[in-house]
Amino acid sequence: MLQYVTLVLTEYEKEANKKQPGASARKDFKYPPVLPVVFYDGEKEWTAETEFLSKVELSDVFYKYIPKFEYELVNLEEYSVEDLIRFGDMLSLIMIIDKIRAADEINLIGKLPVGYIEALKLNIPPHLNKLLADVMTVLLKRVNVPADEITAVTEQIYERGVQGMFNIENYDVQETRRVAHNEGIMIGEARGVEKGVAIGEARGVDKGLDTSAEIMQSLIAKVPVDEIAERYQVSVGKVKQIQSVLAQLSS
């Protein structure tokens, strides 16, 4: 914490000298107060010393020469969601997000009061969108959301800021898993449809089953039709025929 305070004061001095060379050398130059705050979200009780003087040996003798300061401890467990809403700022939003510990608690974000959300839209500048996206990334990783789903959510935040964050109010991890599972089944069926008569007709016997299965996988991966035809030396019509069968499977 002492290093943190020192860095803040050093940066302040640098900025002051940039604006006015030699400013920090004047007698009337003063450093601003730095208020150290530690945000704690652990489950166990905080036991570390909050006063720096207590961490130094022989402080009772040499206290005169030891920097004397203490930090404020903010224990998240002591604040309810309602308490945090009353603050109405970005820090309160981050603290609310940090309270989410399980996938089924994500909907908490969508249940926040409209007045609170509107205040955030006005008070959080666009250049902090990345910070919001990073916070949301940490949250979603913690509740085991897959990387591609996290990307979909954070992209909304990058583009729309706070509004994008609240678009996840209906986000349901279990429902997302169910949809992904069903899509996986559909793709599996599409890849193994050699048992179906319609698929057999679509493949045609001229190129064999293996090549047609590869064509189907390429279509699932959304490779352009003409590129597939050239790659496997088949007609565009044949590729479109297989594409039509895949479309029927997904409907």
Q: Spell out the residues 6+ positions from residue 39 whose beta carbon is closer than 8 angstroms to its own.
A: 74, 76, 95
pLDDT at 161: 65
Most confident of 67-76, 174-183, 225-234: 67-76
Q: How many whole angstroms separate alpha carbon 94 and alpha carbon 86? A: 14
Largest Cα–Cα distance of the chain, in whole Å? 95
Q: Is residue 177 part of a domain?
A: no
Q: Which of 38, 56, 77 is the last residue of a domain?
A: 77
Q: pLDDT band at residue 196, thresholds of 50, 70 and 90?
A: very low
Q: What is the mean pLDDT of the chain?
A: 76
Do 164 and 90 share a domain, yes or no?
yes
- Between residues 242 and 204, which one has the greater pLDDT? 242
Number of domains into which the chain is organized = 3
> Which of helix, strand or coil describes residue 74?
strand
**Structure token pair of residue 192:** 């193994």
Q: Are residues 74 and 38 in contact, defined by beta-carbon separation less than 8 angstroms? A: yes
Q: Is residue 179 part of a domain?
A: no
At 117, the amino acid letter reads: I
Q: Are residues 81 and 99 in contact, defined by beta-carbon separation less than 8 angstroms? A: yes
Q: pLDDT band at residue 219, thresholds of 50, 70 and 90?
A: confident
Do 162 and 89 share a domain, yes or no?
yes
**Number of CB atoms found within 10 A of residue 98's CB:** 16
Q: Mind listing the pLDDT tens digit for each residue in 149-161?
A: 778 777 777 666 6
Domain that holds residue 212: 184-250
Q: Mind listing the pLDDT tens digit for each residue in 163-176?
A: 666 555 445 544 44
Q: Is residue 107 part of a domain?
A: yes
Q: Work out the percent of the chain whose per-residue pLDDT is above 70.
A: 73
Q: Mind listing the pLDDT tens digit for each residue in 6-53?
A: 999 999 999 999 999 999 999 999 999 988 888 888 888 888 888 888
Q: Which of 12, 42, 77 is the last residue of a domain?
A: 77
**Structure token pair of residue 29:** 């130059």
- Compute the average pLDDT of residues 184-207: 47
Q: How many whole angstroms separate alpha carbon 68 and alpha carbon 32? A: 16
CA nearest 46: which of 78, 79, 80? 78
Q: Are residues 143 and 173 in contact, defined by beta-carbon separation less than 8 angstroms? A: yes
Most confident of 26-30, 41-45, 62-66, 93-97: 26-30
The H or E element spanning position 72 is: strand 72-75
